[in-house]
Amino acid sequence: MDGIINIYKEKGFTSHDVVAKARGILRQKKIGHTGTLDPDATGVLPICIGEATKIVPYLSDANKTYEAEVILGAYTTTEDASGEVVEEFSVEVSNEQVLDVLATFVGAYEQTPPMYSAIKINGQRLYELARQNIVIDRPSRMVEILELEQMSPLKDGRFKIRVVCSKGTYVRTLCTDIGRKLKCGAHMGELTRTRVGEFDIEQSVTLKQLEKLNAEEILISIEKMFEQYPAVVVDQSYNKFLYNGNPLEVKIAAAGLFFRVYDYMNHFIGLYKWSGEKLIVEKMFYKEGK
């Protein structure tokens, strides 16, 4: 089985748990996920099966959409509601002030990753240090907030936001930074990821549903992930070069950097890159006789 399944991760599961359970349900060893979700978070977690594990980096790089609750009045150790409160504030801000602050985060945004994260520094996961009450300096990095809107108005010190952001954005850190700008502290409450690239929460399935479904019927093909690129079908004389992953000296009618390449029987071979003279393998997914 080769392809992608759009899983809805339920609360209480780690992303690793989802992969482990999917291996058992599908009886497939080769499975990978496309971006960690915290155990308390819910939502879209596409899993890649078989040859599709080769495209995990492409999906991990995709923009993501989240819905999150911002809780004003306190900072926590984890930057979300699961952590211990480290500082409290009185909340004396208006909804108009909230809207003004939200607008300042749209665009490029320098963010410092939280201590409770899986990022490695000097070979150690930050969360491993955090559990030992060790806090170290973390290099900040640029992320991008493409869209940020308030979903519900400020009430009892809380409001909800919808965020469309780039790879590597920590939404709980965004919530904390919103509180910092409002000068009343904040942390994140509930979090749901509603979209990863083309994968939407409306089409996702839970692990329980996966047990009852025919996986082949909901499996999304690898080539669909690259359908934005032009297709090139080569004739039978190219077989030897094609299946061995050699560069292809072909004439290209369409313009572009990347192309989907198919053999003469219309089998999807892989993603190729145009060098200006040849098509060179970027990622290969099919070999003769498979």
Q: Which two tokens stand for residue 42?
A: 């819910």
pLDDT of residue 194: 97
- Catalytic residue annotation: 38
Q: Of 288, 286, 289, 287, which is closest to residue 3 (Cα–Cα)? A: 286
Q: pTM here?
A: 0.86
Over range 40-61, report the average pLDDT: 88
Separation CA 189–CA 171 (nearest Å): 10
216: which 2 tokens?
Answer: 């082949």
3-state secondary structure of 240: helix
Q: What is the mean pLDDT of the chain?
A: 88
CA–CA separation, 185 and 73 (whole Å)? 5
Q: What whole-number distance in Å separates Cα of residue 70 and Cα of residue 93?
A: 13
Is the pLDDT score of 255 beyond 70?
Answer: no
**Distance (Å, whole) CA 202 – CA 132:** 40
Q: Please report the pLDDT score of residue 287 as a whole number.
A: 62
What percent of the chain is modeled with pLDDT above 90? Answer: 49
- Residue 46's pLDDT is what? 93
**What is the rounded average pLDDT of the residues 148-159?**
96
Whole-Å CA distances, 122 to 136, 137, 140, 165, 206? 11, 12, 16, 27, 37
How confident is residue 209, by pLDDT bands cut at 50, 70 and 90?
very high
β-partners of residue 68 are 161, 191
Strands 258-262 vs 231-233: parallel, antiparallel or unpaired: parallel
pLDDT digits (tens, 9 = 90+) for 182-206: 999 999 999 999 999 889 999 999 9
In contact, 46 and 7? CB cutoff 8 Å: yes
Q: What is the pLDDT of residues 92-141, one digit of tens each?
A: 999 999 999 999 999 999 998 876 766 777 777 777 777 777 777 777 88
